[in-house]
Amino acid sequence: MNANPRDILQHVFGYDAFRGPQEAIVNAVVEGRDALVLMPTGGGKSLCYQVPALVRPGTAIVISPLIALMQDQVASLVQSGVRAAYLSSTLDFQQTQAIESQLLDGRLDLLYVAPERLVTARMLDQLSRVKIALFAIDEAHCVSHWGHDFRSDYLGLSVLREQFPHVPRIALTATADPRTRADIAQRLGLEDAETFISSFDRPNIFYRIVPKQKSLDQLEAFIRREHPGDAGIVYCLSRNKVDKTAVSLNERGIRALPYHAGLSGAVREENQTRFLREEGVIMVATIAFGMGINKPNVRFVAHLDLPKSIEAYYQETGRAGRDGLAANAWMAYGLADVIKLKSMLDQSDAADTFKREEKRKVDTMLALCETTSCRRQLLLAHFGEHMAEPCGHCDNCVEPVPGWEATEPARLALSAVYRTGSRYGVEYLVEVLRGEKTERIAGNGHEALAVFGRGTDLTDKEWRSVFRQLLARGFLQPDSEGYGALRLDDSCRPLLRGEETLMLRREQARTVTPRKTGGKPALDIPHEDRILWEALRAKRRQLAQEQGVPPYVIFHDSTLMAILSARPRSLKEMGHVAGIGDSKLDRYGEAFLDVVNEYA
């Protein structure tokens, strides 16, 4: 044993106490027991294996799915005085050989590797010749077919139990429903591992979902109103939409970069590096971006398309506010999103069992969008966590959505689908209901239908809301050919027969502003502290540029805020600031003391 876990936490990482279940997890691994850890993004998962790695003798091997994450973690650890390295395809032969020599000589505390490299005969042979402290399997949901980021490379990790039966293993993930959790345990041979489930709640994140109208205008208004100059991520389903959105934001004077698999590796790497190292850059991306991104001061995550599942939504929104400061999860979604996702599933070659499961996930995601109750309660319930009272920190809590008795309009909408032969999309159906005398309607003879013109009391927008909510409730389904037509589901029969009534949410314009509840305060710097705040940031930026690392690797925003609040006047006082361990105090204490003293 090298040291006490609490000493490592304080002197290396600069924190006085563990959070939540961290200490129990650390103690289990230090004592040589396996662990399966479910903890939200930003909850401190990394410390759960980094601290034991420095306590137990030998080198800890960390399996990580992304090169960017490895680089980030290693850079942060090196800043804290830890002997860490990574092996990846970005290194040349000499660099790889040097790191392998460090491993074999016992000169590394942590080594990060990708799963595909770990299971090679060469790597396994090298590991068999060194003292291994532990194996940490990050983003463990990647091993599960039911997980939202399945990676076939992870399936080979079962070799760890077979070849290194006495080395403790810790598997970590931010999102896993009970089915995925069981799959992780089975595939990694962790059935007997201690399971630690932290609260999935991220109280610093404000959740908001709005009906999609002119989504780019909505996004621009949201950014200008609440996040001018902040770093953020905007997710889109398609590469084409990513490119168009990034171009549009730049044309509107908002600095944005695209990221998707269709771009060259060099462009992706350059854009990702800029996002990590520069202040106030917005990344517009497909879900190819973000897993393992360690940037703590992402102040918002926006979705311009409906995510495929609550797991994906939770994982993606969790990239906001990792530093514990206030952040936003904003989404605009519409009827076309629902139809597109369900049609894509119908047309896929996947097995029926998989299709049913994925459709269930879409329906659960829809329920989160359409609920009139607390979004956080529904979100947490999906992961098996009960929240007794509404959170008070989502759009529905801050400005409740009124419901309305929509039984008759719903029946009219369903009848319009049936009477027109289940061959048309929403725009056409709304024209029929509102009695629009178009050539197409006349040509189809639909002016003679009993439903024609019966819906003039609702606007186009209100009818689209009705159809969207009928889809969300499962009363309607998109056609399996993917042309946008709607058909009735058997579940609508009781409603059509008058055996049940229906309440729907009434759409209204809402300019919901997050209350400053939950989590730590936002970056709301008092006017009189602004000069010092910007000076601290400037010093951090200068030091980061000199070393070629992201600014947050030097200090998180939360650490700078703690310096701003404490105004330390000596190195001893600086050493008491959260996030400043011994190594960082030696490296940067004097530099930041000078800034504080200059503006005292």
Give the single-character DSSP code of 206.
Answer: E
Among 271, 264, 304, 269, which residue's Cα sits nearest to residue 287? 304
Mean pLDDT calculated for residue range 221-250: 95
Residue 516 has pLDDT above 50, yes or no: no
Same domain, 327 and 433: no
| Amino acid 515: pLDDT | 47
Q: Hey, what are 38's tokens?
A: 């479910």
Query: Is residue 379 helix, strand or coil?
Result: helix
Same domain, 26 and 163: yes
Mean pLDDT calculated for residue range 403-417: 92
Sheet of 205-211: strand order equals 205-211, 327-333, 298-303, 231-235, 282-285, 256-259
What is the domain extent for residue 76? 5-197
* Distance between CA atoms of residues 430 and 21, nearest Å: 53
Same domain, 309 and 230: yes
Residue 192 has pLDDT above 50, yes or no: yes
Q: What is the CATH number of the domain that holds 216?
A: 3.40.50.300
Report H helices in 195-296.
Answer: 215-226, 239-251, 265-277
In one-letter notation, the amino acid at residue 448 is A
Instruction: Note whether residue 163 is domain-resident.
Output: yes
Instruction: Note whether residue 258 is domain-resident.
Output: yes
Instruction: Note whether residue 355 is domain-resident.
Output: no
Residue 43 has pLDDT above 90, yes or no: no
In one-letter notation, the amino acid at residue 505 is R
Same domain, 157 and 33: yes
Same domain, 165 and 216: no
Among 24, 22, 47, 25, which residue's Cα sits nearest to residue 36? 25
Residue 347 Cα distances to 124, 267, 357, 382, angstroms: 41, 32, 15, 27
* Cβ atoms of 134 and 160 closer than 8 Å: no
With a CB cutoff of 8 Å and minimum separation 6, the contacts of 418 are 488
* Distance between CA atoms of residues 547 and 591, nearest Å: 15
In one-letter notation, the amino acid at residue 347 is Q
> How much helix, strand and coil, in percent to the nearest 5, is found in the chain?
50, 15, 40
Angle in degrees, CA 427, 430, 431, rounded to 5: 85
Residue 462 has pLDDT above 60, yes or no: yes
Which of the residue ranges 210-214, 349-353, 500-504, 555-559 would you say has the lowest mean pLDDT?
Answer: 349-353
Instruction: Note whether residue 486 is domain-resident.
Output: yes
Q: What is the pTM of this model?
A: 0.79
Q: What is the pLDDT of residues 109-143, one digit of tens each?
A: 999 999 989 999 999 999 999 999 999 999 888 88
- Name the burial class of residue 326, with classes exposed (0-12), middle (13-18) and buried (19+) by CB atoms within 10 angstroms of its CB: buried
Mean pLDDT calculated for residue range 536-564: 92
Number of domains in the chain: 4
Domain boundary among 157, 172, 197: 197
Among 547, 550, 556, 536, which residue's Cα sits nearest to residue 587? 547
* Cβ atoms of 335 and 486 closer than 8 Å: no
If you compute the radius of gyration of the chain from its CA atoms, what whole number of angstroms results?
Answer: 26
Instruction: Note whether residue 539 is domain-resident.
Output: yes
If you average pLDDT over every residue of the chain, what do you get?
A: 88
- The torsion angles phi and psi of 107, rounded to 5 degrees, stand at -105, 20
CA atoms within 13 A on the CB side of 157: 34
Please write down the long-range contacts of 535-540, taking CB distance under 8 Å and 24 or more positions apart.
535/595, 535/598, 535/599, 536/560, 536/563, 536/564, 536/592, 536/595, 536/596, 537/279, 539/591, 539/592, 539/595
Residue 520 has pLDDT above 60, yes or no: no
* Distance between CA atoms of residues 38 and 181, nearest Å: 9
Residue 67 Cα distances to 135, 158, 447, 472, angstroms: 18, 22, 60, 38
Domain boundary among 333, 362, 393: 333
Query: Is residue 356 helix, strand or coil?
Result: helix
Q: Hey, what are 192's tokens?
A: 């007997």
Same domain, 479 and 554: no
Q: What is the CATH number of the domain that holds 558?
A: 1.10.150.80
pLDDT > 90: what percent of the chain? 56
Query: Is residue 102 helix, strand or coil?
Result: helix
* Distance between CA atoms of residues 509 and 37, nearest Å: 41
* Cβ atoms of 410 and 442 closer than 8 Å: no
Residue 290 has pLDDT above 60, yes or no: yes
Residue 195 has pLDDT above 70, yes or no: yes
Same domain, 46 and 98: yes
Mean pLDDT calculated for residue range 366-370: 87
* Cβ atoms of 47 and 22 closer than 8 Å: yes
* Distance between CA atoms of residues 472 and 64, nearest Å: 36
Instruction: Note whether residue 373 is domain-resident.
Output: no
Same domain, 105 and 187: yes
- Name the burial class of residue 125, with classes exposed (0-12), middle (13-18) and buried (19+) by CB atoms within 10 angstroms of its CB: exposed
Q: What is the pLDDT of residues 158-173, one digit of tens each?
A: 889 999 999 999 999 8
Residue 358 or residue 466, greater confidence: 466
| Amino acid 505: pLDDT | 82
* Distance between CA atoms of residues 178 and 314, nearest Å: 15
Terminal-to-terminal C-alpha distance of the chain:
44
Give the single-character DSSP code of 507.
Answer: P
| Amino acid 483: pLDDT | 67
Q: Predicted confidence band at 521 (pLDDT cuts at 50, 70, 90)?
A: very low
Mean pLDDT calculated for residue range 283-309: 85
- The torsion angles phi and psi of 511, rounded to 5 degrees, stand at -115, 70
Same domain, 21 and 120: yes
Residue 354 Cα distances to 147, 149, 295, 350, 358, angstroms: 12, 15, 34, 6, 6
